[in-house]
Amino acid sequence: MKGADAEARAEAHLLSLGRELLARNYRIKGGEIDLVSREAGGTLCFTEVRQRQQDTYGSAAESVTPRKLSLMHRAALTYLVRELGRDDLPCRLEVLTIDGSAENGELKLLVLD
C-alpha cells in the first residue's frame, strides 16, 4: 500500500497548489501516468510519483530512468489525443519525489524539460 500512500500525498500536494485533478493512474499498453492535473492557467501536468523509503539504491529522483521518461511521454501524448482530441495543448512532464516515508518524507516537484 506504500505506493498508494505516496500517490495520495502527491495528489493532496498538487491540489494544494490549486490544480484540478483530471485522472489517476492513466494506463496505456506499456505505460502509465500516475496523476494528470491542470494548473489554473490551463497547462496540463503529467506527474510521475516516486517514493523511496531509504537511499540504499539512490534517491527517488534517481529511480526515474530514460525508459520511464519515454513511456511517460508516450502515455501523455496518448492522453492528449484520446481524451482531449488534440496534441497541441500546453503541457509538461514532471516527477514528484518523496524521499523517506510516504507520510512525511521530503517532497520535491521536479519539472522535466
- pLDDT tens across 52-98, in order? 988 778 889 998 999 999 999 999 999 999 999 999 999 999 999 99
Q: CATH number for the domain including 56?
A: 3.40.1350.10
The answer to whether 23 touches 62, Cβ cutoff 8 Å, is: no
| Grid cell listed for 100 | 523517506
Q: Which residue has the higher pLDDT, 30 or 49?
A: 49
pLDDT band at 3 (very low <50, low <70, confident <90, very high): confident
**What is the pTM (predicted TM-score) of this model?**
0.93
pLDDT band at 99 (very low <50, low <70, confident <90, very high): very high
Distance of CA 25 to the CA centre of its chain: 9
Number of domains comprising the chain: 1
| Grid cell listed for 71 | 513511456
Supply the range of the domain harboring residue 68.
Answer: 2-112
Measured CA distances, 64 to 13, 25, 39, 47 (Å): 20, 17, 23, 12
State whether residue 3 is helix, strand or coil: helix
